[in-house]
Amino acid sequence: MYYHVNGELCLTEGHTAVVDCGGVGYALTVSDTTIAAIAAHIGEKVRLYTYLAVREDAMELFGFASMQEKVAFTQLIGVSGVGPKVAISVLSYLTPEQFAAAVISGDAKTLSKARGLGKKGAERIILELQEKLAKEYGEAPVSAAPAGIQAPGKLSDATNALLVLGYSKAEANEALAGIDANSMTLENMITAALKRLMK
């Protein structure tokens, strides 16, 4: 029903952002990730992508600073037993990229740290989304990367995955050095790097 709201940011408080669009203040439930992206823009124009959750007793509008976060949110609420509040909690703890990396690498421990989720919920998310996300990220086009030059998007995502797993930036960079991002899927890059780190 609503694709986005575009107007003056009036207030951010907790997990709520109020955006004034033509004199109407829309209260949106947002993640900490979105709050961090917009909090410095009080009194300025912002655009938040939206999702309207309709229940028997209420309607709630959720807002996202990026389309990537909205996509991650809809993927999460598509998992059995995961509602909008838990999805917001996951995206408050992890950025969309970190969330994807944790799911692809099967890191239930990291996912379960999100408030209200728990180990079983994290395992269910991995079970239902791992293959889909691995395919989505692994088949991302890399046309902008000439032969012999690493694809920055996938390399960055692989690095983030290793950081989420608890490795340092130096360890992640060393493990990914020489891996050809142009010819490998993100999942294969992470697997190859983990094998190096476990030696």
Q: Tens digits of per-residue pLDDT, 148-195?
A: 333 446 787 788 778 777 778 888 888 888 888 778 888 788 888 888
Boundary residue ending a domain (12, 45, 64): 64
User: Based on the domain organization, do 131 and 71 belong to the same domain?
Assistant: yes
The total number of structural domains in the chain stands at 2
pLDDT over 50 at 24, yes or no: yes
User: Based on the domain organization, do 98 and 154 belong to the same domain?
Assistant: yes
User: Based on the domain organization, do 58 and 134 belong to the same domain?
Assistant: no
Which residue's structure tokens are 């999460």? 76
Query: Can you give the pLDDT at residue 146?
Result: 33
Boundary residue ending a domain (64, 86, 103): 64
User: Based on the domain organization, do 13 and 78 belong to the same domain?
Assistant: no
Q: Give the range of the structural domain holding residue 177, as residue numbers without chain letter.
A: 67-199
**15-54 in b/e burial notation, b at 16+ Cβ within 10 A?**
bebbbbeeeeebebbbbbbbbebbeeeeeeebebbbbeee
User: Based on the domain organization, do 88 and 179 belong to the same domain?
Assistant: yes
CATH of the domain at 85: 1.10.150.20
User: Based on the domain organization, do 16 and 76 belong to the same domain?
Assistant: no
- Which residue from 108, 113, 152, 110 is spatially nearest to 128, judged by alpha carbons? 108
Indicate the DSSP class of residue 178: T
pLDDT over 80 at 5, yes or no: yes
CATH of the domain at 32: 2.40.50.140
Mean pLDDT over each residue of the chain, to the nearest integer: 85
pTM across the whole model: 0.68
| pLDDT band at residue 138 using 50, 70 and 90 as cut-offs | low
User: Based on the domain organization, do 135 and 161 belong to the same domain?
Assistant: yes
User: Based on the domain organization, do 17 and 76 belong to the same domain?
Assistant: no
Secondary structure element (H or E) that encloses residue 85, with its range: helix 84-93
Query: Can you give the pLDDT at residue 144?
Result: 30
User: Based on the domain organization, do 46 and 135 belong to the same domain?
Assistant: no
